[in-house]
């Protein structure tokens, strides 16, 4: 069986993507991005996951390097991310598989709460914004740690 350079490249890209997604938090981040009707910024992901901004930034950088997400632009200080819309077929099939994976109930609730605050709060630098905390507490969900 012979291979073409394109096949070798696709296998290398797929292997890199699988390696990046071997970290469960990165897989969850990608799943949130696939769930969002629009982009998400790092601060929103930080609130949803209760993880510091710097860690989310590292995870997004790894996902971007693997060709799974892209930054769709800045809004002031904040960078907005989305899944790569025109991913090659082998990565597109991987994205479809991730999209089909159900969100854990707690993840779905935290995503719904934080995304729902977008119009009110917008982007904030990390967990702990009073409006975000109040919304999580009112919903009976543990708020993101400041």
| Structural domains for the chain | 5-138 (1.10.10.10)
Indicate whether 48 pLDDT > 70.
Answer: yes
Q: Read off φ and ψ for residue 78, nearest 5 degrees.
A: -95, 140
DSSP sequence for the chain: ----HHHHHHHHHHHHHHHHTTSHHHHHHHHHHHH-SS-EEHHHHHHHHT--HHHHHHHHHHHHHTTSEEEEEEETTEEEEEE-TT--HHHHHHHHHHHHSPPPHHHHHHHHHHHHTHHHH---SSTT-HHHHHHHHHTT-PPPP-
pLDDT at position 105 is 94
pLDDT at position 126 is 62
pLDDT grade for 120, boundaries at 50, 70 and 90 = confident
Mean pLDDT over each residue of the chain, to the nearest integer: 87
pLDDT grade for 34, boundaries at 50, 70 and 90 = very high
CA-based radius of gyration for the chain: 16
Across 5-19, 81-95, 119-133, least confident range: 119-133
Q: What is the mean pLDDT of residues 57-75?
A: 91
Report the percent of the chain where pLDDT is more than 90: 49
pLDDT grade for 107, boundaries at 50, 70 and 90 = very high
Q: What is the mean pLDDT of residues 77-92?
A: 88
pLDDT grade for 98, boundaries at 50, 70 and 90 = very high
With vertex at residue 27, the alpha carbon angle to CA 48 and CA 53, rounded to the nearest 5 degrees, is: 40
């Amino acid at each position: 069986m012979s291979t073409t350079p394109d096949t070798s490249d696709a296998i290398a890209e797929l292997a890199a993507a699988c390696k990046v997604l071997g970290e469960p938090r990165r897989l969850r981040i990608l799943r949130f991005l696939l769930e969002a009707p629009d982009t998400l910024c790092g601060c929103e992901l930080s609130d949803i996951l209760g993880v510091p901004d710097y860690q989310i930034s590292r995870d997004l950088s790894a996902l971007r390097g693997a060709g799974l997400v892209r930054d769709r632009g800045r809004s002031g200080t904040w960078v907005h991310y989305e899944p790569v819309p025109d991913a090659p077929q082998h990565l597109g099939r991987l994205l479809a598989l991730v999209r089909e994976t159900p969100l854990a109930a707690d993840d779905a609730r935290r995503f719904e709460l934080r995304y729902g605050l977008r119009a009110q709060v917008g982007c904030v630098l990390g967990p702990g914004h009073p409006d975000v905390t109040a919304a999580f507490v009112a919903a009976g969900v543990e708020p993101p740690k400041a």
